[in-house]
Amino acid sequence: MRLRLSLLLLASALGFTATKLPVRSRSEHNGQWRVNEQSIAFDPEHTAIILCDMWDKHWCRGANTRVGQLVQKAEPFLQQLRKKGVLVIHAPSNTMDFYESAPQRKAILALPSVPPPQERILPDPPLPIDDTDGGCDTSGDKMYRAWTRQHAGLTIGPDDLITDNGTHVYNALRHRRIETLLIMGVHTNMCILNRTFAIKQMTRWGVRCLLVRDMTDAMYDPQDRPFVSHDRGTELVVEHIEKHWAPSVLSAHILAALR
């Protein structure tokens, strides 16, 4: 006990703190899925957060509205993360031409290449929702590339990075000795899982991913299977990720850990 107390006092004097972050996952026991809640070590200076496809405009009006609402929550959240040393990576896919001259874009391109490891072979079960028609919940909307940049309501800080390429993200994580990758943005059942910089690929490369579950949204139409509300559809996808891919965390718990 005395030794532990001495170590804690020494760590405090040196400016180190033992910070824990509560995360949620799910595991199967005898055919039943159980919620697992645990606390993991959390060091903001060895943590990054990636903003997936938070575009200025989406082809689906419902999705566009919800992204705007998400931006209002995300901006102050990200400001706090930056202050504590978390690396912020902006990943608005298919808009890199817009950021060609941005220093945050040039910075990540200038990093020496770190070859990713051999991919782990992992199960990839089907989603619990039907999004085969695009998942738009506002009728009459047709698919087209509506986006040109990231949403203007999200600040790009001077030390942030910009890319939509998974190998670039992996390079940045290794060069910055990042241990944990937080993932937020849209859409949970599509890009959050399937982009080259997102949960499936990063998990296959051995990166510890955490989904910020209150900072995401699904492309899901309640008129499609399993015929639940849009919010419940998003929850089902979050649960799917917790079961098969990565734990999740709440933004409020991250902010509490930072304090």
pTM for the complete prediction?
Answer: 0.92
Higher pLDDT among residues 3 and 210, named by residue: 210
User: In three state form, how does the secondary structure of 148-217 look?
Assistant: CCECCCCCCCCCCEECCCHHHHHHHHHHCCCCEEEEEEECCCCHHHHCCCCHHHHHHCCCEEEEEEEEEE
The residue assigned the tokens 């909307």 is 141
The verdict on residue 6 lying in a domain is no
Number of neighbouring beta carbons within 10 Å of residue 71: 17
What residues have CB less than 8 Å from 64, skipping those under 6 apart?
A: 57, 58, 146
Return the structure tokens found at 89.
């990576």
d(CA 110, CA 211): 28
What digits encode the pLDDT tens for the residues 230-253?
999 999 999 999 999 999 999 999
CA dihedral 5, 6, 12, 14 (to 10 degrees): -160
| Beta-strand relationship, 47-52 and 180-186 | parallel
Name the residue among 50, 92, 54 with its Cα closest to residue 70.
54
List the 32-41 sheet strands across, edge first.
Answer: 32-41, 20-29, 248-249, 208-217, 180-186, 47-52, 87-91, 161-162
Range of the domain at 121: 42-258
The verdict on residue 17 lying in a domain is no
The verdict on residue 87 lying in a domain is yes
- Total domain count for the chain? 1
The verdict on residue 34 lying in a domain is no
What digits encode the pLDDT tens for the residues 124-165?
999 999 999 999 999 999 999 999 999 999 999 999 999 999
The verdict on residue 167 lying in a domain is yes
The CATH number of the domain where 237 resides is what? Answer: 3.40.50.850
What digits encode the pLDDT tens for the residues 26-50?
999 998 999 999 999 999 999 999 9
- Burial label for 56, CB within 10 Å (0-12, 13-18, 19+), is buried
- Cβ contact 148:54 at 8 Å: no
The verdict on residue 232 lying in a domain is yes
The verdict on residue 22 lying in a domain is no
d(CA 96, CA 129): 31
The verdict on residue 237 lying in a domain is yes
pLDDT of residue 115: 93
